[in-house]
Amino acid sequence: QLVQSGAEVKKPGASVNISCKSSGYMFNAYYMHWVRQAPGQGLEWMAWVNPHAGGTKYGERFKGRISVTRDRSISTVYMELKNLRSDDTAVYFCARYRTPDGFDMWGQGTLVTVSA
Amino acid sequence: DVQLTQSPSTLSASVGDRITITCRASQSIRNWLAWYQQKPGKPPTLLIYKASGLESGVPSRFSGGGSGTEFTLTISGLQPDDFATYYCHYYDAYYTFGQGTKLEIK
């Protein structure tokens, strides 16, 4: 399963760091992605990390503001989003990518609220 | 970038109905398409992968089809648990979601 850290409230311009802890499977074997969902809106892909080698890919909209890292020793992936704006208010999900099929396991979601 | 357009945005149906949701891609994506179901306050769950593969544990009333630029998700014999929002998803060089289709009880 994937267990994410708890809800956050941040001011504009601040950063948020969300964790996603994996258990029950081989952590290194599956890329981990981050997807967000603004209130009442659809799903938006953000980034992925290769837990084995540490390589990353970021969505164009987030480049320069996002960083995804992993700690193999505790099977945990982290997503940091900087310079938060009000339109970053969303539920953020981590999702395991099962090659070549899609996202077969999701975290429970972390609500990030950005408000002055 | 590949854009995915789902139709309809909202669909009203009754228990027992057969419904079809369409997802159109802005360019050919071969069969790199998945379908997810999402209920309020929950993460999405994978239903269909590679356009027509049924995910383990998903009821057989769900089926996917299509390739290239046009894809469908069909639910045959709607059950009360099926009323939710459905998303198509392209996953290859890019990762793009459709805007969603909300399936409502008529």
pLDDT(A88) > 90: yes
Please answer yes or no on whether A104 and B55 come within 8 Å at the CB atom: yes
Please answer yes or no on whether B50 and A43 come within 8 Å at the CB atom: no
pLDDT(B93) > 80: no
Nearest-CA residue of chain B relative to A47?
Answer: B95
Whole-angstrom Cα distance, residue B29 to residue B31?
6
Chain segment A16-73, per-residue pLDDT in tens: 999 999 999 999 999 999 999 999 999 999 999 999 999 999 999 999 999 999 999 9
Element (H, E) at A32: strand A31-37
- Nearest one of A39, A18, A35 to A81, comparing CA atoms: A18
Nearest by CB to A107, from B43, B98, B100: name it: B43
Q: CA of B62 to nearest chain A CA: how many angstroms apart?
A: 16
Q: What is the overall mean pLDDT for chain B?
A: 96
Name residues whose C-beta falls within 8 Å of residue B56's C-beta, 6 or more positions apart in sequence: none
Please answer yes or no on whether B87 and A43 come within 8 Å at the CB atom: yes
pLDDT band at B94 (very low <50, low <70, confident <90, very high): confident
| B95–A contact, CB cutoff 8 A | yes
Please answer yes or no on whether B43 and A95 come within 8 Å at the CB atom: yes
Helices (H) and strands (E) in chain B, counts: 0, 11
Task: Compute how many other C-beta atoms are within 10 angstroms of the C-beta atom of residue A74.
Answer: 10
Count Cβ atoms within 10 A of the Cβ of residue A11 and give its class: 0-12 exposed, 13-18 middle, 19 or more buried: exposed
- Backbone φ and ψ for A86, nearest 5 degrees, come out as -60, -30
